[in-house]
Structure 1
Amino acid sequence: MISEQALDMLAVTADLIAGTLAGSSAAPRGGDLSELREKCEEWLTLLEDIPAGSISDATRDQLAVQVTHLIWLIDNVGLFGGARVAQQTEGLVGSLTQAVGGLPSVSPLRGKLGAAVVTLMGVLFVFNQGAELAQNSIGNAQGVVREITQTYEDLTE
């Protein structure tokens, strides 16, 4: 159905993508998606627990659809590949960031959700890089985020 020449061109293209874009959402290095899936499940719970009126129902529903779709992609990574998972995660992070940014700056919910967005970004970074060094960097960053969140909460109480 496809010529040998076309297959060779596809192989060369795949090699170029893997070599040039390795460690990006186009060619993630990581293979374990269990932590990303876990964070998605946590986000579904967070979205359910957001008090009424904090964000619009339409925004909450759209975010839930994006998270659910990402879980589906993770569960079907064998069909669609890690690049599709990474790209969907990037889109979700953007949507979540916009939603959190729309909350009042004095809202404790903003700090809680903001920290959850940073954690999701960290998991995506680890998946893209597939390196233990990335995991250590994210662990350190989460500690800083926790300290900032605690300081913010202390100041607003």
Structure 2
Amino acid sequence: METQIPGTSAHGLHEILVQVWESGAKDFRSGWVEALGVEWGSSEFARRHAEVAGLLAETIQHLHALPEAQRNRYSRYFPQWWTSVVQPDLSWVDSGRPARSLVTQETLDHLASAADLLQSVLGGTCSAPAGSNLDSLRESCDSWIELLAQTPDDELAPAMRDEIAAQIRHLLWLIDNASLFGTARISREATSVIGSIAQASTGLTGQDLETGGRWRRGFVAFVAASALLATGTTQLQTAIEAGSGVVKEITQVVEGVTGPTE
């Protein structure tokens, strides 16, 4: 059976909490280990649990995009969702508190309701992507890792280059763990990468025309792959190929530094 990838950060958070809740584990720690699929105390466990906290932060942020009445209604449950993730007042290894007591059915139901509402209201955006095919974005990430490694130090400051590479590697990690954290985390991180690349492009010296041309083409390809995931359509790719409208302006973000390419 094909694994369903969560479509919003709220869906991802809900599914993870459900896995802890349904694990049958004798304590919180064992339940989280089962849900996250890695060893307790490992760096990967810390990384994955930190990402769960990120899902909560994004859920709260997304809910603030709703009309005031709905926002106020769901904001009442923020403390309960936060407590479910961190359990600040209880021991994670207390065998008298099985994983089932991590969260209540009511808390899960409200989180699921919020997730479905966000999917309905924000569908087709990076907060609730309509697409699910991650191949193009992965391919673009791989291309950028290679491109950054080949960018000369005298063309771009190494610190800036390494920072973008680390960000893209994190995006690849999210893609590898899409079934756990969902496509919204991927889409929003991709949007952040776009901003980082655009900012870094202003720092290119422009001395290496070949590097500049590859940056421009890579930027356009990355924007297209990111938009394909968010919208689920190929409209942006078509617009890029036609060189029309606002997309033409997008493709010129780095062109002013790198120069036009064929």
Structure scoring higher RCO (CA < 8 A, sep ≥ 6) equals 1
Counterpart of 1:54 in 2: which secondary structure? coil
Query: Which residue of structure 1 aligns with residue 204 of structure 2?
Result: 103
Contact 1:97 1:114 in 2 (8 A): no
| Residue 12, structure 1, aligned to residue 113, structure 2 | yes
CA distance change for structure 1 residues 136 and 43 in 2, over 3 Å: closer, same or farther? Answer: same
Segment of structure 1 superposing worse, 130-139 or 80-89: 130-139
Counterpart of 1:48 in 2: which secondary structure? helix
Query: Which residue of structure 2 aligns with residue 126 of structure 1?
Result: 228
Contact 1:40 1:71 in 2 (8 A): yes
How far off its partner does 1:88 sit?
1.0
Q: What amino acid maps onto 1:8 in structure 2? A: D
Distance 1:87 1:37 in 2: 14
Distance 2:261 2:243 in 1: 18
Segment of structure 1 superposing worse, 131-140 or 32-41: 131-140
CA distance change for structure 1 residues 48 and 105 in 2, over 3 Å: closer, same or farther? Answer: closer
Query: Which residue of structure 1 aligns with residue 194 of structure 2?
Result: 93
Contact 2:155 2:208 in 1 (8 A): no
How far off its partner does 1:93 sit?
0.9
| Residue 48, structure 1, aligned to residue 152, structure 2 | no
Counterpart of 1:152 in 2: which secondary structure? coil
CA distance change for structure 1 residues 24 and 153 in 2, over 3 Å: closer, same or farther? Answer: closer
Give aligned-pair identity as a percent: 33
How far off its partner does 1:57 sit?
1.2
Q: What amino acid maps onto 1:102 in structure 2? A: G
Structure 2, unaligned stretches of length 5 or more? 1-100
Distance 1:9 1:118 in 2: 40
Q: What amino acid maps onto 2:117 in structure 1? A: L
Contact 1:101 1:110 in 2 (8 A): no
CA distance change for structure 1 residues 153 and 128 in 2, over 3 Å: closer, same or farther? Answer: closer
Contact 1:33 1:127 in 2 (8 A): yes
| 1:19-58 aligned within 5 A | 19-58=120-159
CA RMSD of aligned residues (A): 2.6
Q: What amino acid maps onto 1:45 in structure 2? A: E
Counterpart of 1:71 in 2: which secondary structure? helix
CA distance change for structure 1 residues 133 and 57 in 2, over 3 Å: closer, same or farther? Answer: closer
- The ranges of structure 1 where at least 4 consecutive aligned residues each deviate by more than 6 angstroms after the TM superposition are none
TM-score (norm 1): 0.82
Distance 2:157 2:190 in 1: 22
CA distance change for structure 1 residues 35 and 106 in 2, over 3 Å: closer, same or farther? Answer: same
Q: Which is richer in helix?
A: 1
Per-residue CA distance 1:69-97 (angstroms, 9 max, x = gap): 11111111111110111111111111111
How far off its partner does 1:65 sit?
0.8
Query: Which residue of structure 1 aligns with residue 185 of structure 2?
Result: 84
Contact 2:155 2:207 in 1 (8 A): no
Q: What amino acid maps onto 1:100 in structure 2? A: S
Structure 1, unaligned stretches of length 5 or more? none
1:60 to 161, 166, 170: 161
